[in-house]
Chain A
Amino acid sequence: MEAKSTATYADSMVATREVAVARHTATDLTAQGEPYLWALGGALAAGILMILGFLLMVAWNGIATFLPKPIEAVTLKSGAVIAGEPSRFEYYRPAAQELAALTPGERAEIEANNGFATRTLYRTGNYDLYHEDFRWVPGHDVSKLVRPKQMLFAERQEWGPFVGKLKSVEAPGLASPITNVNDPRFAQAHGRALARRSRIGEIERKQIGSINYYLENERLALRRAALKYGGASPQYADAKRTFAQRSAELNQQYARLAAEAQALRAEDAKDRITLTEIGGREKNLALSEIVRIYPANALTVAGRMRVYLSRWWEFLSAEPREANTEGGVLPAIFGTCAMTLLMVVFVAPLGVITALYLHEYARQGRIVSSVRISVNNLAGVPSIVYGVFGLGFFAYVLGAGIDASLYPERLPNPTFGTGGLLWASLTLALLTVPVVIVATEEALAAVPRSMREGSLACGASKWQTIRNIVLPRAMPGIMTGIILAMARGAGEVAPLMLIGVVKLAPDLPIDGFFPFVHLSRSFMHLGFHIYDVGFQSRNSEAAKPMVFVTTILLITLIAAMNALAIAVRNRLKRKFAGSQF
């Protein structure tokens, strides 16, 4: 009896096991989570693809910008000739009036193409002669298209590029005028003219600039004495004497330098170049006005590369020209880096100390919770509101106070009472502080309790424990927070527009004059530069490529700053790597 029931029991067990085995080999995909895996993986892939696509698009548009393009001379059916760089090509639907003016043959061609005609946008340059930089040329209007070898593309200091042929270069130092751009004397003469121009620039901007700076300082010192002691006091009389003496000296130096610059300018004006545009009109200008000139259709690969690299170098190291649409962005790079670094200097201690207090010292209760909620809400405030706050509080209240007490002699010109490097950095520090606080609190919470207790049991005070054990251990997480803050702050533009960024800054915020870091100066910023070039320039077609190039630069700059911070963090992380028991 028992044996039989055991047998049946065993059989039923085997049967159950078989069913279980059968079930295991055919587990439902949904139970395994396959659809969710694919969905999440797909979403991640889509996100990455979008980012890569964006980067590629920016790179594609931007990297090719500085490549020298050929110059095409187009003869229209009307007989007019246009020369320029082809910069865009598109299909368009001609308007009714335009269609009416065409020959039946042309109209038939357009009809055959679904009503679309083609046209090319040529950069004709010569704004001073044509009053336009670009011109559309419909494809059906072209009767002849050539690429003349002698056509030159000349970038100028003013009025944008010039497209045309070289007529002659005359200079006192030349035995005979240069008429051929391949003449070796041409490069020499051009080099000399450019060197002379930079010497003039150095005299005027640096040396005369510093004399002006010292003169201004003297004037302010005199004014300071007047405000402090009164106009009738003996100290003021002394100050006035010193002022008269010093300013006489400085004015002497000024006069000497000005004369030197004037002489150089006169000499410079004697080197002249005459260019002819395609229609025959001539343009005579000083040789030093030409920044770069090259025969666009006769360049070798090496020549093209040279032009390309020299344009990149100019972009990174020179100052802007032509209302920021040409030239370089060095002041903007400098301003962006200076502001970001100063912002990190403010946000790191502020965020870490606040988080330390909230996490370690404050008694956890309703007040601390509401502080935390407020801090997190700070992260949600639109960034332009920060700009308004920065302007209203930092500049107009704090700055006015500082001006009244420390810089009364400069009034009514505001020193700190308006936007500048200091207030911009502080405003952005406020903007990004929630990120640092949250990241720091997370990092502090991740320090194991056993480590803290171990330290306290050794007789360390709470502060010693924090300083020796907790903070170093939390440092990688804190660095992550600072990296995020830096990345966010470097890219914010809206608040900066109100609180310190200008379209064109006359000086860099860090220079050779005491106190070397001028916290009250306005500065340029790459993000703002993109906005300014893209939307505020006279010539949006010329500006478009600059927008892409500046975007590439901004992304590269932020990526470089992040890479640096991540490298620092990894070094810190390695210190704590090691088997945890």
Chain B
Amino acid sequence: MNGADRSEPVSYAKQGGHGVVLSIENFSLWYGRTQALFDNTLTIERGLVTALIGPSGCGKSTLLRSLNRMNDLIDEVRISGDIRLDERSIFDPSVDVIALRKRMGMVFQKPNPFPMSIYENVIYPLKVDGVRDRRILAELGERALKGAALWDEVKDRLNESALGLSGGQQQRLCIARAIAGDPELILMDEPCSALDPIATSKIEELMNELRGHYTIVIVTHNMQQAARVSDNTAFMYLGRMIEYGDTQKFFLKPALERTEDYITGRFG
């Protein structure tokens, strides 16, 4: 079975028991004239870690960025289809994009701490949300840093510049910043690709701890990582969703030959 002409992926995702938080329905995206995503359909289960894998250029980052409407920043983007967060379309004109983004935290491929102190970085989402009380800010900031397993390392130097941290620490700071506003979803775009193995394993540990409290969608080109951390894995190829399922079953015995070829490294 090839599956190249199917518009719907083969799907056997694990249910989390708390329902679907995000459902992507026939979502297509064009950059100008070029179509990047073709009729993607996917459901993200609440409280679980979902991994998007696929070869370079298959559109996984584009799909991820569409989830919090970061693609709105690009002028020539055109979409069709729908993405629903808790049954409500995120493209509805009455939806406030900024409120939407507050419900999702995003971690990028290259750590991007702001040129401020560590403390200022972590409480940034709270400050832009209008929280002014210093005690609340300090408390939430500490909680976020603890949640990102960074507190012990930085608690004595909260006022130093965030740019002085190592790469792994900066990425954990970005994760802390992403969870500071208590979002429902955390979107991670290849968060470990610029880090060394030890920092990578620390972040993977972190993802294990965050599972359950948050829904995580992670884009990764590292299949072993996907196998280690995720509950559900989706395979994309050339802008199409090919297969989506429970990670155990996915990596043990994928349904489609193309998936198996990719997993075993025959291409990509």
- List the interface of chain A (C-beta within 8 A of B): 364, 448, 450-451, 453-461, 464, 468-469, 472-473, 575-576, 578-581
Partner of B115, one of A456, A464, A578: A578
Partner of A457, one of B70, B75, B194: B70
Partner of B125, one of A458, A469, A578: A458
What residues of chain B lie closer than 8 Å to A581, measured between beta carbons? Answer: 110-111, 163, 167, 170, 194
Nearest opposing residue in chain B for A579, CB measure: B163
- The reply to whether the CB of B252 lies closer than 8 angstroms to some CB of chain A is no
Q: A454-B113, A459-B125, A459-B129 are in contact. List 18 more A-B contacts (CB 8 A).
A: A451-B112, A454-B106, A454-B108, A454-B112, A454-B177, A455-B128, A456-B101, A457-B68, A457-B105, A459-B101, A460-B98, A460-B125, A468-B124, A472-B115, A575-B115, A578-B164, A579-B163, A581-B111
What residues of chain B lie closer than 8 Å to A364, measured between beta carbons? Answer: 75
Name which of A459, A578, A581 has the most chain B CB atoms within 10 A of its CB. A459
Partner of B102, one of A454, A459, A473, A580: A459
Q: How far is the CA of A500 from the CA of B181 in the complex (A)?
A: 56
A460:B128 contact, CB within 8 angstroms: yes
Question: Provided the pairs A453-B73, A454-B174, A578-B161 are in contact, do residues A461 and B128 lie with their beta carbons within 8 angstroms?
Answer: yes
B181:A459 contact, CB within 8 angstroms: yes
Which residues, 186 to 204 on B, are CB-close (under 8 Å) to A?
A: 194
- The reply to whether the CB of B114 lies closer than 8 angstroms to some CB of chain A is yes
Q: How far is the CA of A143 from the CA of B258 in the complex (A)?
A: 115
Nearest opposing residue in chain B for A459, CB measure: B102
What residues of chain B lie closer than 8 Å to A472, measured between beta carbons? Answer: 115
What residues of chain A lie closer than 8 Å to B68, measured between beta carbons? Answer: 457
Q: How far is the CA of A468 from the CA of B124 in the complex (A)?
A: 9
Q: How far is the CA of A576 from the CA of B117 in the complex (A)?
A: 11
Q: What distance in Å separates the Cβ of B142 from its nearest Cβ neighbour in chain A?
A: 18
Q: How far is the CA of A364 from the CA of B76 in the complex (A)?
A: 12
What residues of chain B lie closer than 8 Å to A473, measured between beta carbons? Answer: 115
B115:A458 contact, CB within 8 angstroms: no
- List the interface of chain B (C-beta within 8 A of A): 68, 70, 73, 75, 98-99, 101-102, 104-106, 108, 110-115, 124-125, 127-129, 161, 163-164, 167, 170, 174, 177-178, 181, 194
Q: What distance in Å separates the Cβ of A514 from its nearest Cβ neighbour in chain B?
A: 39
What residues of chain B lie closer than 8 Å to A578, measured between beta carbons? Answer: 115, 161, 163-164
B163:A458 contact, CB within 8 angstroms: no
What residues of chain A lie closer than 8 Å to B164, measured between beta carbons? Answer: 578-579
Question: Provided the pairs A457-B101, A576-B115, A581-B167 are in contact, do residues A450 and B124 lie with their beta carbons within 8 angstroms?
Answer: no
Name which of A455, A460, A575 has the most chain B CB atoms within 10 A of its CB. A460
Q: What distance in Å separates the Cβ of B267 from its nearest Cβ neighbour in chain A?
A: 30
Partner of A453, one of B70, B99, B181: B70
Partner of B128, one of A448, A453, A468, A575: A468
B170:A458 contact, CB within 8 angstroms: no
Q: What distance in Å separates the Cβ of B109 from its nearest Cβ neighbour in chain A?
A: 9
What residues of chain B lie closer than 8 Å to A457, measured between beta carbons? Answer: 68, 70, 101, 104-106, 108, 178
Please, could you name 7 A-B residue pairs with CB atoms under 8 Å apart, sorted by A? Answer: A451-B114, A453-B70, A453-B108, A454-B113, A456-B73, A457-B104, A578-B161
Q: What distance in Å separates the Cβ of A446 from its nearest Cβ neighbour in chain B?
A: 13
Q: How far is the CA of A461 from the CA of B70 in the complex (A)?
A: 12
Nearest opposing residue in chain B for A467, CB measure: B128
Q: Sorted from nearest, which 7 A-B pairs have the closest CB atoms?
A: A578-B163, A459-B102, A457-B106, A458-B125, A460-B128, A450-B112, A454-B112
Partner of A469, one of B101, B111, B114, B177: B114
What residues of chain B lie closer than 8 Å to A469, measured between beta carbons? Answer: 114
Q: How far is the CA of A581 from the CA of B109 in the complex (A)?
A: 12
Partner of B114, one of A455, A459, A464, A579: A455
Q: How far is the CA of A450 from the CA of B75 in the complex (A)?
A: 17
Q: How far is the CA of A364 from the CA of B75 in the complex (A)?
A: 10
Partner of B181, one of A456, A458, A461, A576: A458
Q: What distance in Å separates the Cβ of B215 from its nearest Cβ neighbour in chain A?
A: 16
Q: How far is the CA of A460 from the CA of B124 in the complex (A)?
A: 9
What residues of chain A lie closer than 8 Å to B129, measured between beta carbons? Answer: 459
Q: What distance in Å separates the Cβ of A450 from its nearest Cβ neighbour in chain B?
A: 4
Q: How far is the CA of A468 from the CA of B167 in the complex (A)?
A: 23
Q: What distance in Å separates the Cβ of B73 from its nearest Cβ neighbour in chain A?
A: 7
Q: How far is the CA of A139 from the CA of B5 in the complex (A)?
A: 109
Q: How far is the CA of A454 from the CA of B180 in the complex (A)?
A: 14
B112:A458 contact, CB within 8 angstroms: no
What residues of chain A lie closer than 8 Å to B70, measured between beta carbons? Answer: 453, 456-457
What residues of chain A lie closer than 8 Å to B73, measured between beta carbons? Answer: 453, 456
What residues of chain A lie closer than 8 Å to B174, measured between beta carbons? Answer: 454
Q: How far is the CA of A473 from the CA of B70 in the complex (A)?
A: 22
Question: Provided the pairs A453-B73, A454-B174, A468-B124 are in contact, do residues A459 and B98 lie with their beta carbons within 8 angstroms?
Answer: yes
Q: What distance in Å separates the Cβ of A470 from its nearest Cβ neighbour in chain B?
A: 11
Q: What distance in Å separates the Cβ of B51 from its nearest Cβ neighbour in chain A?
A: 20
Nearest opposing residue in chain A for B124, CB measure: A458
Q: What distance in Å separates the Cβ of A569 from its nearest Cβ neighbour in chain B?
A: 15
What residues of chain A lie closer than 8 Å to B125, measured between beta carbons? Answer: 458-460
Partner of A580, one of B106, B163, B194: B163
Q: How far is the CA of A575 from the CA of B114 in the complex (A)?
A: 11
Q: How far is the CA of A364 from the CA of B112 in the complex (A)?
A: 27
A458:B177 contact, CB within 8 angstroms: yes
Q: What distance in Å separates the Cβ of B125 from its nearest Cβ neighbour in chain A?
A: 4
Question: Provided the pairs A578-B161, A581-B111, A581-B167 are in contact, do residues A455 and B124 lie with their beta carbons within 8 angstroms?
Answer: yes
Name which of B110, B112, B125, B181 has the most chain A CB atoms within 10 A of its CB. B112
What residues of chain A lie closer than 8 Å to B99, measured between beta carbons? Answer: 459
Q: How far is the CA of A460 from the CA of B131 in the complex (A)?
A: 13
What residues of chain A lie closer than 8 Å to B75, measured between beta carbons? Answer: 364
What residues of chain B lie closer than 8 Å to A464, measured between beta carbons? Answer: 128
